[in-house]
A and B are shown apart, each in its own frame.
Chain A
Amino acid sequence: MRRDRDVREFPPARKKEAGLAAVSRLPRFEQCLYSIWGNCRKTRVVQPNAVEESRAPRPRVGLFITCLVDLVRPQVGFAAVKLLEQAGCDVEVPAQTCCGQPAWNSGADKYAADLARQVIAAFEPFDYVVAPSGSCAGMIKLHYPEVLANDARWLPRARALAAKTHELISFLVNVRGMKGVDAHCAARTCYHDSCSSLREMRVREQPRELLASVDGLSLSELKEPEVCCGFGGLFSVKYPEISERMADDKIADAQATCAEMMVGGDLGCLLHLKGRMQRKGVNMRVRHVAEVLAGMAGEPALGET
């Protein structure tokens, strides 16, 4: 379905511009539209199938704000909104609290089931559920059907929700066909793969692909990107000493790349790693990858004032 010419000339489809987008098939308007677009947006998404998308209805995305993003770093949520809108989605944020993973991973199955039902009811109406976290998305996608395995009424609903749930960055790339972003961030950067993103949600190349398009950013790989950082939710407080050792190994790996900044897709890992860096006096900026992709790298990084 991809068109051969330079898709950068197309603005992303948005509601207001739906009419304009239809016109945009005429080549002579392209330059003109491009300049209008360039003037009104600081960040512009590059979307290969903008033309087709513009004819299709805009998907409604229910944004799952993780409890850590809500509490600690709302900016990640706004970055996600921005990126999703750039990708031609209508974003809504229904009433929500937490996906229930802390309960599920602790074996508190009843709490987990209560919360799963709550999330399913809130997010069912949407075309997609997207979370800026592989961990929470993985909980909904892979574990809700386990949580509700013995609930005949809710199991089909859990499965249906699982089928349309995505981690943010892989959603942008795999579902919305995003190829790059128009953002600037001059920093030598390393990427931290969270285990749930990597192994549960199959997120690996997508963030690297988008980061490669960030102006000024150079990405260096960790030596052991597939090794866990030691966060593991409540593990970090059940076995703090082991968690500490794992964090130190990860931080040493990151330092060896000479990166000034670490980005990742899961705020849990990042809080744990940044917290450990602060305790050790390691100077490295830490950010959620969505912030960088949404052009918000100018804002203070995690734990900066």
Chain B
Amino acid sequence: MTLDPRAFREAGRAALHDPSLRIALGRLKTHFALGRARAVERYGDWEALREQGRAIRDYALAHLDTLLEEFERNVVARGGQVHWARDAKEAREIVLRILREAGAKSVTKGKSMVSEEIALNPYLDANGVEPVETDLGEYIVQLRREPPSHIIAPAFHLNKEDVAKTFREAHTALDPDRPLVERTELVAEARALLRARFESADAGITGANFLTAEEGAAVLVTNEGNGDLTRLLPKTHIVLTGLEKVVANLEHAAVLLRLLTRSATGQDISSYVTVMNGPRAPDESDGPQNFHVVLVDNGRTRLLGTDAEEVLRCIRCAACLNHCPIYAAVGGHTYGATYTGPIGAALNPGLMGVGVAHRHPNASTFCGRCAEVCPVKIPLPTIMRHWRAREYASGLAPKSMTAGLGAWAFFAKRPALYRFAAGIVACALKFLARNGRVHSLPLLHNWFLVRDFPAPQGKTFHALWTARQ
């Protein structure tokens, strides 16, 4: 499956007609949105918590340089190493170098969106290191050679029958007649197979939900425990993460954690939250001997000080996806990018360039639900609009639209002329209408593709009002 953010409309059309995707997407409401609503309800003063979360992230972004330096100092003081990557290529190379130095042939991986963003797996494969995804959803999509379709639920687009089929095709060493119908059977099969991979892996790569400067720690949030086995069993642990994840201290991370799990899955806290603070102590019997943090920029610092800066507050909870009617209609793969839904629409033009990702911010009605649920109060529609303005200014907007807007603005800036024209249009539309509707018109093909236009009353308000006065 190739990722092409430019093909949003075409991919969306196909997705709209995929019946099994429709079933999967139905679970956004029944599972994610409902769970979040209940958790928020239970919490009490959610708005105060959101405000605190926003303040914590804003503080961190305003002090990004000093916090990163402090983070680095403290990681090093605890025996770890910090690496800085300007872009995806540098990040991939750094990871490979660490793995080579560790003599790693196979590497287990906890779910990391940054790993998807920099396309790490194909690179490792091509360079003789086998990456094994261990988050169940990520494992499933890795077997299917698909990208994740949701930032916290990679196999969101699949139903259990799809998973069973994938497992039968991939796990050829197992008895082909084994029962594989229930979710419990699928989970048990993956658990058994992956445990062996954990035990034999030479290195582990995880992401991080937060980095804390004061402690030099990476905080990881999971439900399965795969991230911890990835860190604790192999000799070398690499944390691969966006550099904007840093916050001042663990106390700040604890506040964000309250927002994160409730917004993501509706849990008060996830099963596992791990503060990963360097390599194991000399007398410890487990834990990694080598600890590396790779800080990835890849377009993030470019957003600082711009109108899109607030998008860097994101804690990747996916609440905006889960409440997005566009995502609910077309699913994640339509976006052709790692980040999907509203966060994708607000972030992708920044990371990938407006010319590549300009379809994403246009795929929004600005209904505002995403901003309403975002735990760190990112004004997502405002940022999408900013990208539309950049698109317009760089001449990337469709010619038909800019021409139409130009003509419309010409009239709209001249009230008398506008009234005259509006009067003609109102009258003409009424004339064209049959049975209370206009069925088609040249130029407005896309409107009439899916709907009629209810017949107007025939005269404009302004004409009638003037007559009445």
Chain A interfacial positions (CB closer than 8 Å to B): 65, 67, 69-75, 77-78, 93, 95-98, 100, 102-109, 111, 114-115, 118, 146, 195-196, 199-200, 224, 226-228, 230-247, 271-272, 274-276, 278-279, 286, 302-305
Give the number of A-B contacts (CB < 8 Å). 203
Across the interface, do A279 and B409 meet the contact criterion of CB distance under 8 Å? Answer: no
Q: Which residues of B come within 8 Å of A, CB atoms?
A: 9, 12-13, 16, 29, 325-326, 329-330, 362-369, 372, 382, 385, 387-393, 397, 401-402, 405-406, 408-409, 411-416, 418-419, 422, 425-426, 429, 435-437, 444, 446-447, 449-457, 459-462, 464-465
| A102 and B451 within 8 A (CB) | no
A275 in contact with B453 (CB, 8 Å): yes
- Residues from chain A with a CB closer than 8 A to the CB of B405 are 102-103, 106, 108, 111
Q: Which A residues lie within 8 Å of B411 (CB)?
A: 97
Given contacts A234-B401, A278-B437, A279-B452, contact A65 B388 (CB under 8 A): no
Contact yes or no, B413 A115, CB < 8 A: yes
The closest CB in chain B to the CB of A271 belongs to B454
Q: Is the CB of A70 within 8 A of B446?
A: no
Q: Are B16 and A245 in contact (CB under 8 A)?
A: yes
Known contacts A238-B446, A278-B436, A303-B437; is-contact A228 B369 (Cβ 8 Å): yes
- Whether A77 lies near B393 (C-beta < 8 A) is no
**Looking at chain B's contact residues, is the secondary structure mostly helix, strand, loop, or mixed?**
helix
Q: Among B366, B429, B436, B462, which residue has its beta carbon within 8 angstroms of that of A93?
A: B462
A105 to B368, CA, bound (A): 13
Q: How far is the CA of A241 from the CA of B330 in the complex (A)?
A: 10
Given contacts A106-B401, A107-B391, contact A228 B325 (CB under 8 A): yes
Is B464's CB under 8 angstroms from A242's CB? Answer: no
Are A71 and B426 in touch, CB under 8 angstroms?
yes
CA distance A95 to B397 in the complex (A): 31
Interface contact B449-A98, CB-CB below 8 Å: no
Contact for A97 among B406, B418, B457, B465, CB less than 8 A: B418
Contacts of A107 on B, CB cut-off 8 Å? 385, 387-393, 397
Interchain CB contact under 8 A, B366 and A114: no
How many whole Å from B416's CB to the nearest CB in chain A?
Answer: 8
Would you give 19 A-B contacts (Cβ < 8 Å), ordered by A?
A67-B412, A67-B422, A74-B465, A93-B462, A96-B415, A104-B385, A108-B389, A195-B365, A199-B367, A228-B365, A230-B325, A231-B365, A237-B447, A240-B449, A241-B9, A241-B450, A275-B447, A278-B437, A278-B452
A297 vs B189: C-alpha distance when bound (angstroms): 63
Given contacts A72-B426, A77-B461, contact A114 B413 (CB under 8 A): yes
How far, in whole Å, are A111 and B393 apart by their CA atoms in the complex?
12
Extra 11 A-B pairs, beta carbons < 8 Å, given A72-B429, A73-B456: A69-B461, A93-B465, A102-B408, A115-B412, A118-B415, A200-B368, A226-B369, A227-B325, A241-B13, A275-B437, A286-B454
> Could you say which residues of chain B place their CB within 8 Å of the CB of A246?
325, 329, 365
- CB–CB B454/A232 < 8 A: no
Q: Which of B364, B369, B372, B450 contacts A235, CB < 8 Å?
A: B364
B455: which A residues are within 8 A, CB to CB?
A: 303, 305
A71 and B422 contacting across the interface, CB-CB below 8 Å: yes
Complex CA distance for A67 and B451, rounded to whole angstroms? 20
Whether A71 contacts B388 by the Cβ 8 Å rule is no
Given contacts A108-B392, A244-B451, contact A72 B325 (CB under 8 A): no
Given contacts A95-B415, A195-B367, A226-B369, contact A73 B457 (CB under 8 A): yes
